[in-house]
């Protein structure tokens, strides 16, 4: 697998406190990678190091095969920050032209790419309006347009749907999926775990500056599967048949939970009910999702006294 991001023992200290601790992270080219953790876990600091905005205290990192300090590498990066503070006196067109010029785009490229980027994020025909008149959701869309304007190979999206309504979130999901199809790597940080689950190829959970688990969605969510079964009557014959399929937990006169090895066993549960002569009222797999796994791995929210200093840009050892 060709890596878009590769870190080895990456560490960042502010004073005597380590915010990121010996972080090993590998992200393949062309995948959507979810980076999850509570507030204060070191996610934003990690992203700043990957972008070259903050220098690590120790460890090594490569982005697109090189250093984020290399201007040629940086030109292939896109970034939508969580706290977007844009030049509100500019129009949408002017905002994108400014950032496109910073990215080295020519006037001819800007003439075609700006309207295309605005249309892609749902702001087609709104480029002549001042950013000061945009809603928060429109500003977030404008920031996303800026992040993809130069057609980067690696895009960092920090809470990209926090200001959007459900329709806007669906649209951003579609943009992320389109970027993946175009071979763009997307590094996604979001507290909306259902959004991450729907678009990510792999995810990493980080706590107190360390990765506690990483893997594909299938790997992380695999394992024992509780299935709620409701029938007209639980006969000894039926209970005995279900017990051969998995661990039983009685829920009442008509309901039982059967914990099986995987979803491939579910048809056998239905067959056992039918063979016992019972009427099946409900068969409900209780699949674990990212939120369940997040709570298991992380536990607390990390909101208590976990603020990180805003300074120290470009300070410390490389």
Picking from 267, 257, 287, 308, the residue whose alpha carbon sits closest to that of residue 46 is: 308
What share of the chain in percent tops pLDDT 90?
Answer: 73
Show the beta-strand stretches assigned E in the chain: 3-14, 17-28, 32-36, 58-63, 77-80, 154-158, 185-189, 202-207, 210-216, 225-231, 247-250, 255-260, 280-285
d(CA 3, CA 27): 6
**Do the bridges between strand 77-80 and strand 154-158 make them parallel or antiparallel, or are there none, so unpaired?**
parallel
129, 223, 225 from 258: Cα distances, Å: 58, 14, 8
Q: CA angle, corner 156, sides to 102 and 16, nearest 5? A: 100
Q: What is the pLDDT of residue 280?
A: 95
Q: What is the pLDDT of residue 310?
A: 45
- Which tokens hold the place of 238? 């039926």
SS3 46: helix
Q: According to the CATH classification, is domain 225-287 in 3.30.70?
A: yes
CATH 3.40.50.300 domain extents, the chain: 3-220+292-298
Q: Which residues in the chain come in under a pLDDT of 70?
A: 300-318
d(CA 122, CA 164): 12
Q: What is the pLDDT of residue 191?
A: 85
> 185-209, pLDDT tens digit by residue?
999 998 888 889 999 999 999 998 9
Indicate whether this model's pTM tops 0.85: no
Q: So what CATH class is 3-220+292-298?
A: alpha beta
Residue with tokens 């002569």: 277
């Amino acid at each position: 697998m060709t890596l878009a991001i590769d870190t080895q023992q990456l560490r960042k200290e502010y004073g005597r406190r380590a915010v990121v601790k010996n972080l090993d992270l590998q992200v393949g080219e062309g995948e959507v990678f979810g980076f999850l953790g509570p507030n204060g876990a070191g996610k934003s600091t990690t992203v700043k190091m990957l972008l070259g905005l903050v220098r690590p205290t120790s460890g090594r990192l490569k982005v697109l095969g090189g250093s984020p300090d290399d201007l040629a590498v940086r030109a292939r990066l896109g970034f939508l920050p969580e706290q977007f503070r844009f030049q509100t006196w500019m129009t949408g067109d002017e905002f994108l032209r400014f950032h496109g010029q910073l990215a080295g785009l020519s006037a001819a490229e800007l003439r075609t790419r700006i309207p295309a980027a605005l249309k892609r994020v749902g702001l087609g025909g709104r480029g002549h309006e001042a950013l000061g008149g945009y809603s928060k959701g429109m500003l977030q869309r404008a920031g996303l347009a800026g992040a993809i304007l130069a057609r980067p190979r690696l895009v960092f999206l920090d809470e990209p749907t926090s200001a959007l309504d459900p329709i806007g979130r669906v649209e951003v999901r579609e943009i992320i999926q389109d970027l993946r199809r175009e071979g763009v790597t997307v590094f996604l940080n979001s507290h909306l775990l259902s959004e991450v689950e729907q678009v990510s190829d792999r995810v990493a959970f980080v706590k107190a500056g360390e990765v506690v688990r990483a893997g594909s969605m299938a790997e992380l969510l695999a394992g024992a599967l509780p299935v709620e079964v409701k029938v007209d009557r639980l006969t000894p014959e039926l209970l005995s048949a279900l017990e051969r399929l998995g661990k039983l937990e009685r829920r009442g006169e008509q309901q039982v939970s059967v914990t099986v090895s995987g979803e491939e066993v579910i048809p056998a549960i239905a067959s056992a009910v039918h063979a016992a002569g019972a009427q099946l009222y409900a068969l409900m797999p209780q699949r674990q999702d990212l939120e369940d796994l997040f709570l298991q791995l992380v536990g607390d929210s990390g909101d208590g006294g976990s603020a990180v200093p805003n300074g120290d840009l470009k300070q410390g050892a490389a």
